Amino acid sequence: MKGHIVLLAVLLVSCSERAERTYTVDELIADEALLAEIMTACGTNPGELGNTPNCQNAAAADFKASFRRMRKALGG
């Protein structure tokens, strides 16, 4: 998994001509492993990555998923 995080970080900061794939909030909620990888990469380098679409979508997905878990735990 550590290798995936490093690879993701490299992809997030690379300046290649190929555009990085932007994941939607719903895609990230559906893929907990991907969400965790992106959150880790964003948390490791928030100065460079914090304003990227994937970091913003991951933060929104994390918040939304946390809210859903809390609602479910409360019986809602």
**What does the pLDDT read at residue 13?**
58
**What does the pLDDT read at residue 16?**
46
- Write down the pTM of the prediction: 0.70
Bin 75: left if φ > 0, else alpha if -120 < ψ < 50, else beta.
left
**What does the pLDDT read at residue 17?**
40
CA 42 → CA 1, 6, 16, 72, distances in Å? 16, 11, 19, 27
**What does the pLDDT read at residue 20?**
82
For the segment 13-59, what is each residue's pLDDT rounded down to a tens digit? 554 444 689 999 999 999 999 999 999 999 999 999 999 999 999 99
Angle subtended at Cα 46 by Cα 42 and Cα 52, rounded to the nearest 5 degrees: 65
